[in-house]
């Protein structure tokens, strides 16, 4: 797990960490079911307040990225977790919606937008 905190960022520290952890959980840098450092360890490593790391873990747990196991600590949620899947679907929908709106604003026809999407999928 790699986390970089920018002191001069407009984003609050907790959001910076949340974004980076989510990204690393999603792309597999932090493996599923891997144990995460404890709230206090993370605070110590990053030299930030305990309340901030507590908030990060609470938010990530609420969003289904990690799970808290009583007495053991925090773990990355399994990939097939329903919550996580739903969340990713939701993210996809918003991104698509945004893409469609931008395409229409640019004056593209629906076919042209679908073609663009298809070329993206073939490319990746």
Binding site for other proteins (CB under 8 A): 7, 10, 12-14, 40-41, 43-44, 47-52, 55
Of the pair 12, 78, the CB lying nearest other proteins is at: 12
- Minimum separation from the CB atom of position 41 to other proteins (A): 7
User: 3-state DSSP helix/strand/coil percent for the chain, to nearest 5?
Assistant: 60, 5, 35
CA distance 71 to 83: 23
13-51 exposure pattern, b = at least 16 Cβ within 10 A, e = fewer: bbebbbebbbebbeeeebeeeeebbebeebbeebebeee
Q: Compare residues 13 and 21 and give the one whose CB is closer to other proteins.
A: 13
Question: Does residue 36 contact residue 1 with C-beta atoms inside 8 Å?
Answer: yes
Smallest distance from other proteins to CB 55, Å: 7
Least spacing, CB of residue 76 vs other proteins, in Å: 22
Using the minimum distance from each CB to other proteins, give the nearer residue, 5 or 108: 5
Q: Report the 10 Å Cβ neighbour count for 86.
A: 11
Instruction: Report, in Å, the least distance between residue 20 CB and other proteins.
Output: 16
When the beta carbons of 40 and 85 are compared against other proteins, the nearer one is 40
């Amino acid at each position: 797990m790699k986390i970089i905190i920018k002191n001069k960022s407009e984003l609050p520290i907790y959001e910076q960490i949340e974004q980076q952890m989510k990204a690393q959980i999603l792309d597999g840098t932090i493996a599923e079911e891997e144990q995460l450092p404890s709230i206090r360890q993370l605070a110590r490593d990053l030299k930030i307040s305990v309340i901030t790391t507590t908030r990060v873990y609470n938010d990530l747990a609420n969003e289904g990225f990690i799970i808290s196991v009583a007495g053991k600590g925090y773990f990355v949620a399994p990939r097939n977790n329903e919550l996580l899947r739903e969340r990713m679907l939701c993210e996809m929908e918003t991104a698509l919606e945004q893409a469609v709106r931008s395409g229409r604003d640019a004056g593209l026809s629906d076919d042209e937008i679908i073609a663009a999407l298809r070329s993206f999928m073939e490319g990746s």
